């Protein structure tokens, strides 16, 4: 088991461009979370999936953000028409099924987005 | 809505000392899960310790222990015999149910001084 994998690790983009990030969760983890973290702050919840179903999306998330998890495996997070305020670390986490003994989420190393 | 509050933005202690990080939360749920996560500089977040609200016994993991006060909605982390490798951001987190999202506090930056 290689842990939660995120790609790319770093992304620099020009304002107005679209970007897409990928997250590969730990195998057999059916829950997948996306968070945004700015410098010195705690992770801010964006959205989460159980299998392929998107269960909740933060009200703070604008319509420029969309996430998918086709087939309940990897997930993508797309940001359209990026703005400088989108610059942050985007964290992905996964957690095992409810029936598992473990309850916590396991985090990836994140994708750092810089919008110039 | 659930909230998690960490009132200490930054703390510093000498190596080998004991330090306690504070966390309070707000919820109307009777059962839930609480976590402390550690995020070392430029490294990924890892779980330090977890507590299930229905368990009265405080969780311990080696040098890490919690003081869970359910009525006061308080969940503090105690690090004994602190080590240089404990230097990190520490986040308190809350999860309402096992199939729910995890909500994080703003974090406490802990410096262990040699």
The tens digit of pLDDT for each residue in B36-50 reads: 999 998 889 999 999
Count of CB atoms situated within 10 Å of the CB of B54: 10
Virtual torsion, Cα A107, B22, B64, B54, nearest 10 deg: -80
Q: Confirm if A6 and A110 have CB atoms less than 8 A apart.
A: yes
Query: Is pLDDT of B92 > 80?
Result: yes
Chain A nearest CA to B16, separation (Å): 26
| Mutation for B interface: A100, A104, A109, A111, most B CBs within 10 A | A104
* B104 strand-pairing partners: B93
> Token pair of A71, please?
């087939």
CB contact under 8 Å between A40 and B98, yes or no, is no
Q: What are phi and psi of B96, to 5 degrees?
A: -65, -50
Tell me the pLDDT band of A99, cut-offs 50, 70 and 90.
low
- Separation CA A108–CA B45 (nearest Å): 8
Q: For residue A58, what is the DSSP state?
A: -
Neighbours of A8 (CB within 10 A): 13
| Residue A102 pLDDT level (bands cut at 50, 70, 90) | low
Is B47's CB within 8 Å of A104's CB? yes
Question: Could you tell me how far CA B79 lies from the centroid of its own chain?
Answer: 10
The answer, yes or no, to whether residue A100 has pLDDT greater than 70, is no
User: What pLDDT score does A1 carry?
Assistant: 54
Separation CA B96–CA B102 (nearest Å): 8
A61 falls in which pLDDT band (50, 70, 90)?
Answer: confident
């Amino acid at each position: 088991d290689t842990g939660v994998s995120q790609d790319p690790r770093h992304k620099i983009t020009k304002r107005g461009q679209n970007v897409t990030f990928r997250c590969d969760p730990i195998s057999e983890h059916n829950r997948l979370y996306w968070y945004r973290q700015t410098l010195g702050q705690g992770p801010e919840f964006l959205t989460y999936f159980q299998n392929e179903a998107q269960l909740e999306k933060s009200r703070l998330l604008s319509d420029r953000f969309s996430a998918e998890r086709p087939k309940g495996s990897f997930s993508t997070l797309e940001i359209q028409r990026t703005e400088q305020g989108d610059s942050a670390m985007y964290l992905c986490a996964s957690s095992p099924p409810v029936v598992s003994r473990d309850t916590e989420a396991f985090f990836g190393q994140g994708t750092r987005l810089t919008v110039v | 809505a659930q909230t998690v509050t960490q009132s200490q933005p930054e703390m510093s202690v000498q190596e080998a000392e004991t330090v306690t990080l504070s966390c309070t939360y707000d919820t109307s749920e009777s059962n839930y899960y609480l976590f402390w996560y550690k995020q070392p500089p430029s490294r990924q977040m890892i779980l330090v310790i977890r507590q299930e609200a229905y368990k009265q016994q405080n969780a311990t993991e080696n040098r890490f222990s919690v003081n869970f006060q359910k009525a006061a909605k308080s969940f503090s982390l105690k690090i004994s015999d602190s080590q240089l490798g404990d230097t990190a951001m520490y986040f308190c987190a809350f999860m309402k149910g096992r199939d729910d999202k995890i909500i994080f506090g703003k974090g406490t930056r802990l410096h262990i001084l040699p």
